[in-house]
């Protein structure tokens, strides 16, 4: 096996530098190339990192130095890219959502499994220490009966954000707040509280009348374990405040704001609780006020894990198969909003939701 795994980053948009930083600061990874159809963007990043610039994915996949492809394309373009990477025998780390449909997600997972390549997803908020502590407490029973799992994301994006790339104002490209922004925090609820059984959602545009997208979603979730949940997400709320994840049970409450633990209280106090209450960094930006206003640390953890998973021949920390239930919840939200009625799981793909 090579001393270092070579990485190619597919996409030279806003998120590409976060992947690049994660690779550059990893142990055992080497950034080889960027790839993008936009010559100006890809050349700028390639020059900055002193690596190769490709204009074609097929061309980059033929580069024998590249072992892993980080798919950082617009949401609706993930499927074709991942399938091409799997066919070329490259390990893949894709941005969220894995794809825009369940059938595409299942096909991608199957293709990567058949090719024998690792396939991970950067829903990187999962690796935050506060989230790991909350999930462990749920699984160990410290919350008692789980009652509520809520996510509040009141962010701000100016109208210019939706105009800087053509796809950012296209519903079918997953540019609405539910997919493009809230997916991470819906994923955290699914990751902590488990799959949902029923979803009821309402979607509106409160602050961006120039685009035909929802910039605000309100959703009520019923989880399979009987807990309830509320998702409140928007990009219309100036100036933007940190995401808040709140988990409540009969025996405890935990709250993460941004990436820091702000409440950690249980009936049974334990010695480790004092340390857990200090998890997170209050100074770390987490995206509330700008599209690039967050750190690369979480991306780096996910990228390092993929390198280690290849070396150790094990599963990655965030397999795409574990993100599928989140996509199902998101699709159920769109179906519920379109039908103005609750939607029960499991759901099937309904492409008509993207045309509403």
Domains, the chain, with CATH or none: 5-122+296-318 (3.40.50.720), 126-287+325-344 (3.30.360.10)
Distance CA 77, CA 222 (A): 31
Q: How far is CA 260 from CA 141, 241, 245, in A?
A: 22, 13, 10
Q: What is the DSSP letter of 155?
A: -
pLDDT digits (tens, 9 = 90+) for 152-174: 999 999 999 999 999 999 999 99
Strand, coil or helix: 142: coil
Kindly report, residue by residue over 267-291, the tens digit of the pLDDT: 999 999 999 999 998 777 676 666 6
Measured at the alpha carbon of residue 26, what is the angle toward residues 22 and 28, in degrees to the nearest 5?
135
Each residue of 4-48: pLDDT tens digit? 999 999 999 999 999 999 999 999 999 999 999 999 999 999 999
Dihedral angle of Cα 152, 138, 97, 155, to the nearest 10 degrees: 10
pLDDT digits (tens, 9 = 90+) for 39-93: 999 999 999 999 999 999 999 999 999 999 999 999 999 999 999 999 999 999 9
Between CA 303 and CA 242 the distance in angstroms is 24
């Amino acid at each position: 096996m090579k001393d270092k795994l070579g990485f190619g980053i597919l996409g030279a948009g806003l998120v590409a530098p976060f992947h690049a930083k994660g690779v550059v600061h990893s142990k055992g990874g080497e950034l080889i190339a960027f790839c993008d159809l936009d010559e100006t963007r890809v050349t700028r990043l390639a020059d900055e990192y002193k690596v190769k610039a490709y204009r074609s994915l097929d061309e980059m996949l033929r580069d024998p130095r590249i072992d892993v492809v980080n798919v950082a394309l617009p949401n609706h373009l993930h499927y074709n890219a991942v399938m091409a990477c799997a066919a070329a025998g490259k390990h893949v780390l894709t941005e969220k959502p894995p794809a825009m449909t369940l059938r595409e997600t299942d096909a991608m997972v199957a293709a990567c499994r058949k090719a024998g390549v690792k396939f991970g997803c950067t829903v990187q908020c999962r690796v935050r220490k506060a989230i790991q502590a909350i999930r462990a407490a749920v699984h160990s029973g410290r919350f008692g009966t789980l009652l509520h799992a809520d996510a509040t994301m009141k962010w701000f994006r100016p109208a210019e954000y939706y105009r800087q790339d053509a796809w950012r104002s296209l519903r079918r490209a997953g540019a609405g707040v539910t997919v493009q922004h809230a997916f991470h925090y819906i994923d955290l609820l699914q990751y902590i509280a488990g799959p949902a059984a029923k979803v009821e959602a309402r979607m509106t545009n409160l602050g961006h009348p120039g685009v035909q997208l929802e910039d605000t979603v309100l959703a009520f979730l019923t989880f399979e374990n009987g807990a309830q949940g509320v998702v409140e997400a928007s990009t219309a709320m100036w100036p933007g405040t940190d995401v808040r994840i709140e988990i409540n049970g009969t025996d405890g409450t935990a709250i993460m704001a941004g990436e820091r633990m702000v409440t950690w209280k249980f009936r049974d106090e334990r010695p480790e609780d004092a340390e857990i209450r200090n998890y997170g960094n209050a100074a770390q930006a987490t995206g509330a006020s700008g599209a690039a206003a967050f750190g690369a640390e979480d991306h780096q953890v996910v990228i390092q894990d993929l390198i280690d998973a290849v070396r150790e021949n094990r599963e990655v920390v965030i397999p795409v198969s574990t993100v599928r239930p989140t996509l199902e919840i998101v699709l159920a939200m769109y179906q519920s909003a379109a039908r103005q009625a609750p939607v029960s799981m499991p759901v099937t793909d309904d492409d008509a939701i993207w045309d509403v």
